[in-house]
Amino acid sequence: MTTLRELAQHLGLSPATVSRALNGFPEVGEKTRIRVLEASERLRYKANSNAKRLATGKSGMVGMIFRSSRNLLVDPHFVDFLAGLSTGLADREIDLVIHAAPQHELLAHYERFVSSGSVDGMIVSAPELNDRRIATLIERGFPFVVHGRTGDNVGYAYFDIDNGAAFKAATSLLIDLGHRCIALLNGEADLAFVQQREEAFRQATTDRGIHIPERFISHDVMSEEQGFAHATEMLSGRRGPAPTAFLCSSTLQALGVIRAAATAELTVGTDLSIIAHDDVLPHLRPEHFNPALTVTRSPIRMAGVALAEMMVARISGVDPLKLQRMVTADLIVRASTGAAPTTGRDGWLH
Amino acid sequence: MTTLRELAQHLGLSPATVSRALNGFPEVGEKTRIRVLEASERLRYKANSNAKRLATGKSGMVGMIFRSSRNLLVDPHFVDFLAGLSTGLADREIDLVIHAAPQHELLAHYERFVSSGSVDGMIVSAPELNDRRIATLIERGFPFVVHGRTGDNVGYAYFDIDNGAAFKAATSLLIDLGHRCIALLNGEADLAFVQQREEAFRQATTDRGIHIPERFISHDVMSEEQGFAHATEMLSGRRGPAPTAFLCSSTLQALGVIRAAATAELTVGTDLSIIAHDDVLPHLRPEHFNPALTVTRSPIRMAGVALAEMMVARISGVDPLKLQRMVTADLIVRASTGAAPTTGRDGWLH
DNA sequence: AAATCTCTCTAAACCGGTTTGAACGTTCTG
DNA sequence: CAGAACGTTCAAACCGGTTTAGAGAGATTT
């Protein structure tokens, strides 16, 4: 492995000049620069990144820590986000360091990342309502960006979709179609976006004078399996009238509802309406479901790309308040939503 | 940020002693060690990781580069692998650096990772038959482990499933059930495991005197969508008799086949048999498909955990030939496979 | 009591870059 | 032609750790 000093010696120059030549500083003679670049190419010189990091104080890396228990990584949503993030970062020559830690050590690992100087910034995903990771990062004054947000007036950089507007629109659509018994299959209760969606749902129903019983709202992992389980339970009518419509936080849950409907011999679109939020997972297209699914749509991958850009800005000192973006999710109506069945199959509608 | 020198000064000790105390070297007095540990705790001292890396020559990180075009990251299989890998590495206090690069720059990025000393080892995933990344790493003498293998007698460390045995077993099962027209929905042709599976499939059919026309074998992205498209095409009978059984490289493709069967009004398990390889994606359980899917099963996540362990061994100098593991995939028969329809609906069977 | 051995600790070199302050030769200005 | 200004290069300090060689104190041996 060639070092800078060797390269300089080889050229009869000082390390300082060679370093400047390679890094494009203006005070190097043009012929010298060319000589240096040629020689470095020929000797296959690559700067030792650790030495560089130590000298500059910049690592060229950003970090992400996830709970090994919750295991976001197996969540296809999270993963598509990661894809956008890492390509976005790669465009800016930044690497992403990912690390798994058990829940009870999570904050300690954040502390380590922050104060050991191994990364220039952190990405926080899936914030909880009172997120201690965010509190820690703010306290330490460390640059970070968040996918999602914990509230309306926060002091940090974030990218989020307008969960409230999306779920309000979806709920209104169902109500307009005549549905009064609407179930919400939501994600895990401690997540911020889950709360935001739920609040919008409750608000939209209450505004129209509709009461939704608690048993119509579930909090669970957003998977096909859980979607099926909750939908089956609710459709059984065991604890009271069954819902005529389902609002799902993920297309995976919607898949489960579709399966539950098939099992209960209900036709989706007529007997039962379904709307889901579509994060646009490339391997699971709701337009190809049977029937095609009505969704609120916002590509989660785009969020990754956007956050990469914001992370870079944040590292270079941009005011976090200037780095807050919220995008709206489009409501796309397809075949899975239809007018509420007029003859309540359970007597709920008269 | 406290530095080692400051901490040493504060304690009235030399940096050398403090460094030794913190790193557990034996030549430090017991009372001194305790004083040092206490003070470092109190002053919240965290060693600067870049300085540490420069001094030791070890980074405590391993790298992974993926093609931004192929975009492995959106592949749920790859992601579950990543989950296993990063938790396995975290257990050994190693971080994972991930980086995206366009196809034509891929090798350059490998070179950079290798010769800039930013990682101690590399993980290679989804090898191609003649993989230039592997060739480069061998040439450079850099530690790496591979998920999959390019051939039978290779000189590097790998973890792989026995694709040949699995697909031979699956094919044999279909033949035993009377199927003669069997289609293979495979992955992208340049991937090593795709070749291995296909070879086993061809061998198993040829051995039993069955000829499979080329149009029964497809190579494509392993997604629901492509599975649906290829199955629909083959089932249409447009280019000749339709297959009575499908062998899929992924459960996602099987989902597509199930949808195609429904569209063609065929009952899976009687009119049509399906077997898929199941990488055990937590959000997509083939035992819950309708009908439950017959699979060859091997958790891809386990591969990640195993490779983390092997990577660590490899970095510490273990002979790569001692780090080669191949596991067998279990054939699990469920409801999606049944006897071939005796009355060929297309005249193929007499 | 001198010599040897341990134990514990220190000074200084080192890892491989970047960056500051100064010096050099050349050209411009007065 | 002296002096200033400029463009280019260099020596040395620096980033913050680890590690080698060696020093000093006390215990053990002779």
The tokens 């104060």 sit on which residue? A115
- pLDDT reported for residue A273: 98
**Overall average pLDDT of the A211-234 stretch:** 95
Give ∠ CA A338-A339-A345 in degrees, rounded to 5: 110
Contact A87 B98 (CB under 8 A): no
Q: Does any strand D atom come closer than 7 Å to the Cβ of B59?
A: no
Q: What is the DSSP letter of A290?
A: S
Nearest to B74 among A80, A89, A225 (CB): A80
Query: What's the CA–C1' distance between B140 and D19, in Å?
Result: 28
Helix (H, G, I), strand (E, B) or coil at B176: helix
Instruction: State how far the alpha carbon of B281 is from the alpha carbons of A227, B286, B319, in Å.
Output: 16, 9, 32
Q: Give contacts of A115 with chain B, Cβ < 8 Å.
A: 1, 44, 46
Please check whether residues A183 and A243 belong to one and the same domain: yes
Decide if A336 is inside a domain: no
Note the pLDDT of residue A349: 40
Q: Are A287 and B224 in contact (CB under 8 A)?
A: no
Tell whether B324 and B289 lie within a shared domain.
no
Torsion on CA atoms B145, B150, B155, B159, rounded to nearest 10: 40
pLDDT at position A350, please?
A: 35
In a domain, A221, yes or no: yes
Phi, psi of B328 (to 5 degrees): -90, 145
CATH number at residue B12: 1.10.260.40
In tens, the pLDDT along A70-91 reads: 555 456 777 778 888 999 999 9
Mean of the pLDDT values across residues A109-127? 95
**B68·A87 Cβ contact <8 A:** yes
**Overall number of domains in chain B:** 3
B117 within domain boundaries:
yes
Residue of A52, A72, A77, A79 for testing the chain B interface, max B β-carbons within 10 Å: A79
On whether both B51 and B177 belong to a single domain, the answer is no
Q: How many CB atoms lie within 10 A of CB B176?
A: 11
Residue B224 lies in a domain: yes
Nucleotides of C under 7 A from a protein CB: 7-12, 14-21
pLDDT band at A344 (very low <50, low <70, confident <90, very high): very low
In a domain, A335, yes or no: no
Residues B136 and B204 in one domain: no
Start-to-end CA span in chain A (Å): 82
Give the burial class of A251: count Cβ atoms within 10 A of its Cβ; 0-12 exposed, 13-18 middle, 19 or more buried: buried
- For residue B166, give Cα distances in angstroms to A91, B81, B248: 40, 19, 12
- Looking at residue B83, what is its pLDDT? 82
Q: pLDDT tens, A236-285?
A: 999 999 999 999 999 989 999 998 999 999 999 999 999 999 998 877 78
Inter-residue long-range contacts of A210-213, CB under 8 Å, 24+ positions, other chains counted: A210/A175, A210/A180, A210/A182, A212/A182, A212/A184, A213/A240
Distance CA A274, CA A259 (A): 12
Average pLDDT of the residues in A292-318: 96
* Residue B349 counted as domain residue: no
In chain A, whose CA is at the least distance from the CA of B83? A73
pLDDT above 70: residue A164: yes
A19 touches strand C (CB under 7 A): yes
pTM above 0.85, yes or no: yes
CA B304-A99-B142 angle, 5° bins: 60
Residue (of B247, B235, B234) closest to B275 by Cα position: B247
Nearest CB to A224; choose among B51, B68, B284: B284
CATH number at residue A259: 3.40.50.2300
Is residue A134 in some structural domain? yes
Range of the domain at B75: 61-161+300-329
Same domain (yes/no): A75, A222 = no
Ordered per-residue pLDDT tens for chain B, 350 residues: 899 999 999 999 999 999 999 999 999 999 999 999 999 999 999 999 999 999 999 999 999 998 876 555 456 777 778 888 999 999 999 999 999 888 899 999 999 999 999 999 999 999 999 999 999 999 999 999 999 999 999 999 999 999 999 999 999 999 999 999 999 999 999 999 999 999 999 999 999 999 999 999 999 989 888 999 999 999 999 999 999 999 999 998 999 999 899 999 999 999 999 999 999 887 778 998 889 999 999 999 899 999 999 999 999 999 999 999 999 999 999 999 999 998 644 444 43
Residues 6+ apart with CB under 8 A from B122: B62, B63, B64, B65, B110, B113, B114, B137, B142, B143, B144
Do B144 and B207 sit in the same domain of this protein? no
Q: Which nucleotides of D are covered by protein (CB under 7 A)?
A: 7-12, 14-21
* Same domain, residue pair A112 and A184: no
Q: List the structure tokens of A42.
A: 């020929």
Are A156 and A320 in contact by the 8 Å Cβ rule? The answer is yes
Say whether both B220 and B319 belong to one domain: no
Within this chain, do residues A228 and A311 fall inside the same structural domain, yes or no? Answer: no
pLDDT exceeds 90 at position A102: no
Pick the closest to residue A118 from B84, B53, B268, B317 (CA basis).
B53
User: Strand pairing partners for A61?
Assistant: A95
- Residue of chain B nearest A281, judged by CA positions: B74
CA of B175 vs chain A CAs: smallest distance (Å): 30
Q: Is residue B48 part of a domain?
A: yes
User: pLDDT at position B58, please?
Assistant: 96
The residue of chain B with its CA nearest to that of A94 is B99
The two structure tokens encoding residue A141: 């004054």
The verdict on B83 and B156 lying in the same domain is yes
Percent of chain A with pLDDT over 70: 96
Q: Which of B80, B86, B225 is the closest to A285 by Cβ?
A: B225
Same domain, A23 and A40: yes
Question: What residues of A are in contact with residue B73 (Cβ under 8 Å)?
Answer: 79-80, 82-83, 86
pLDDT of residue A348: 45
Domain co-membership, B292 together with B318: no
DSSP-derived 3-state class of residue B71 = coil
pLDDT at B78: 78
